Amino acid sequence: MISISLPKLSPLANPNSAFEDLNPKPRLLMGPGPINADPRVLKAMTSTLLGQFDPQFRGFMRETMALYRQFFETNNDWTLVLDGTARSAIEMVMMSAIEQGDKVLVLSFGRFGQLLDEIAKRSGANVRVLEAPWGTVFDLAQIEQAIKSFSPKLVAVCQGDTSTTMLQPLAGLGELCHQYGALLQVDATASCGGTPLPVDAWAIDAVTAGLQKCLAGPSGIAPITLNNHFAKIIYSRRHLEEGLQTAGYTAGTGSRIASNYMDLAMVIDYWSDNALNHHTEATTMLYGARECARIFIQEGLANAYARHAQASRAVVAGVQGMNLKVYGDLNNKMPNVTGVYIPDGVNGDKVRGALLNDFNIEIGTSFGQLNGKIWRIGAMGYNARPDCVLHTLAALEIVLAAEGHKFTRGAGVDAAYQLIGDRP
């Protein structure tokens, strides 16, 4: 018998609480994500359930694909949503595209670059990691040198890494990868909707994303887009499960994808006119994803990006007005998340606890080498609004003053107020 100690699992403090109505306290989620969902998204998710092959529902699937083509600024046919969180999309795309021993170059400038490394290795890849110091990003010359020396099949990078709040410039990277015969996979979970991501113009082969940040939805379904070349690589590994095979079935020439649920070749069949019965679609999540994209497209890409940029400028001005220092390279900062150094003599967790318990406002800390050293304040999606930013800064001022931090009371809110919102 194996001697292993499992982690502790505390019992319910109140065993009867599970039988009470679900009524969580309202929170203003101003951390790195998730954020408060747009009420229109939550309303859409209450729509009646349909069978996955109901003509109405198949129509909603096509509409969702069309909306996300506009969102990603692409003509890619294989633009769809995958049931699961954003992480599942990264894994599904990698596992389906990478065969055992394929070379993958990971560009890592934070915790989520480390995640790309982890997933690529679990997918059987021969991985090399190019690292940038946290708080910085890469230039194309650094990346080109790494590609030339390694000759990868795939280059994987996050557009924005919320752990460091940095935004990697992507213009020119797709062309660079293709020049050396490599594919480019971008995880845009933390950034899409808050900053431009013109997939076709930037020659990106595959993008994975999520709803729970700038798209103003809940976690649980993941938009992706694949160009035809990338999709064909995946579809060459099409091996239908035995119960779905018909007379005349021929397996793909590539190796079988190691996971059934993560088999993107079969999921492509599911979304295609073949309507393969791969899994039961998460109906309410698809409704939510459709509504997220509809709202975004209706607002207009340029308007949404400008709204996030304005909120970012206000957060930066606000924290600087409180005599706080912003973390990282400001020239390459994500517009939807701001890293703030915790000042000396201030207990960062105590401040976060006071914001949550006394003001119902959530902000985040970070991971690894930044854990306990910075706060992360997000202003994205439905919460990239003047009132959310100003309420958060006002509460932070009160809590910081109570902790003895020295600054001019009101300076942070005043600085932000000058930069945000339309006033008469």
Q: For 225-277, how does the pLDDT look when each residue is reduced to its tens digit (9 = 90+)? A: 999 999 999 999 999 999 999 988 999 999 999 999 999 999 999 999 999 99
CATH classification of 301-417 is 3.90.1150.10, yes or no?
Answer: yes
Q: 16-31 pLDDT, tens per residue?
A: 999 999 999 999 999 9
CATH classification of 39-297 is 2.40.110.10, yes or no?
Answer: no
Alpha-carbon distance 405 to 230, whole Å?
52
The answer to whether residue 422 scores a pLDDT higher than 60 is no
- CA distances, 66 to each of 69, 154, 193 (Å): 5, 27, 16
The answer to whether residue 369 scores a pLDDT higher than 70 is yes
Determine the Cα angle at 250 with ends 246 and 254, to 5°. 135
Instruction: Give the pLDDT confidence score for residue 1 in this predicted structure.
Output: 73
Determine the average pLDDT of the residues in 198-202: 98
Tell me the Ramachandran region of residue 73: left when phi exceeds 0, alpha when psi lies from -120 to 50, beta otherwise.
left
- Mean per-residue pLDDT of the chain: 96
Closest among 74, 135, 138 to 106, alpha carbons compared: 138
All structural domains of the chain with their residue ranges: 39-297, 301-417
Buried b (16+ CB within 10 A) or exposed e, 376-412: bbbbbbbbbbbebbbbbbbbbbebbeeeebebeeebb
Closest among 190, 113, 175, 127 to 376, alpha carbons compared: 190
Confidence (pTM): 0.95
- In this prediction, what percent of the chain has a pLDDT beyond 90? 96
The answer to whether residue 335 scores a pLDDT higher than 70 is yes
Q: Using 50, 70 and 90 to split pLDDT, how confident is the model at 424?
A: very low
The answer to whether residue 6 scores a pLDDT higher than 70 is yes
Q: 340-355 pLDDT, tens per residue?
A: 999 999 999 999 999 9
Closest among 378, 422, 313, 388 to 162, alpha carbons compared: 378
Instruction: Give the pLDDT confidence score for residue 421 in this predicted structure.
Output: 61
